[in-house]
Amino acid sequence: MASFALDPEQLKWCAQVRDWAAERLRPLAEVGEPGRVNRPLLAALGELGLLARLFPGTALELCLLRESLARECTEAETALALQGLGAHPLLESPQLAARWIPRVVSGEAVAAFALTEPGAGSDAAALELAAEPAPGGWRLTGEKCWISNAPEADVYTVFARTTPGAGARGVTAFAVPADRPGLGGERLDMLSPHPIGRLRFDAVPVGEQDVIGEVDRGFRVAMTTLNRFRPSVGAFAVGMAQAALDAAAAHAASRTAFGAPLKELQAVSHTLAEVATRTEAARLLVYAAAEAYDSGAAWTARSSAMAKLFATETAQYAVDAAVQIHGARALERGHLLEHLYREVRAPRIYEGATEVQRSIIAKELFA
């Protein structure tokens, strides 16, 4: 097992990313419309060279980037992560990568990862979006739901069933431009402020040139992408946990109650100690999972599941504790902790819910 202390250059780079997030990205996020794709924010991420870090980049670099952004601007973090998630599968096809990756890296084109359906979430192999044979390729018919960046993305990585009744073996991944006839959708009003929507496919035409990877092997494309990004979801969570801890510690040091700073109350100081310990443990699990992925270690699946499980649950605990220490002011619209309270819930569900991560870990124990 490796040491997870960051070297001086990594620490310097993380500090630079936090500065960019606070000074250049947060102002753009604050004027963006909640629930809509923020294209000026994406353009800024491109100008700073941060989107280019996604392709190819290491898993550890991705985790450091997401954690650093999340500490200062969760909107920038999520905008970057969604570009990576939506476009990473395109690397499987040199032709599709050449067409889309430069535009994604510049922030010009918005990408989306369209896997989840109303009846297929954690059990992704149960998806039903039909790819029916047609002259020159297939026609996609069905629905995708809770898709980030939908319906405003420029290109969707779409997973559809090309072989009925074949489970995970009958799924194909397609790159579907937003202007294809028959493709529509609408925004969904969700708890988090990010763009999330529903997509409807009414005989949307796709051809061989749109296939990502191989026909009927799209489930592997989906899992490869999710395995790469799963540790970095934990990094996003660690960034939020650290932001909540920083806010709570500053408040406890400055706010007076019962004749003394809040930090002098053992109930408060012990809560902060618990948050700090869990946050550091989550950070180390995330770094360990990223290094396992980068080295191709046999324990990568278990390590990634542990990192996502513990980090997202820790972030929920940290934000809730920080709200409790602040009191009512933390629930005012626009307060940092009110924002984090809405942000922190979803990562425990997407890219494999907490319960799915526990199942993965348990399976690995008995392998």
Residues annotated as catalytic are 351
138/133 Cα distance (integer angstroms): 4
192: tokens are 């988090």
CA-closest candidate to residue 130, choices 161, 88, 171: 161
Sign of CA dihedral 210, 173, 151, 40: negative
69/46 Cα distance (integer angstroms): 14
Backbone angles phi, psi at 303, to 5 degrees: -65, -40
Q: Contact 288/64 with Cβ under 8 angstroms? A: no
92: tokens are 């499987």
Question: Looking at this protein, which amino acid is placed at residue 257?
Answer: A
What one-character DSSP code corresponds to residue 202?
E
Q: Contact 241/282 with Cβ under 8 angstroms? A: yes
Residue that is written with structure tokens 């040199």 in the block: 94
Interhelix angle 39-47/74-87, nearest 10 degrees? 80
275: tokens are 């948050």
354/343 Cα distance (integer angstroms): 16
**Partner residues linked to 160 by β-bridges:** 172
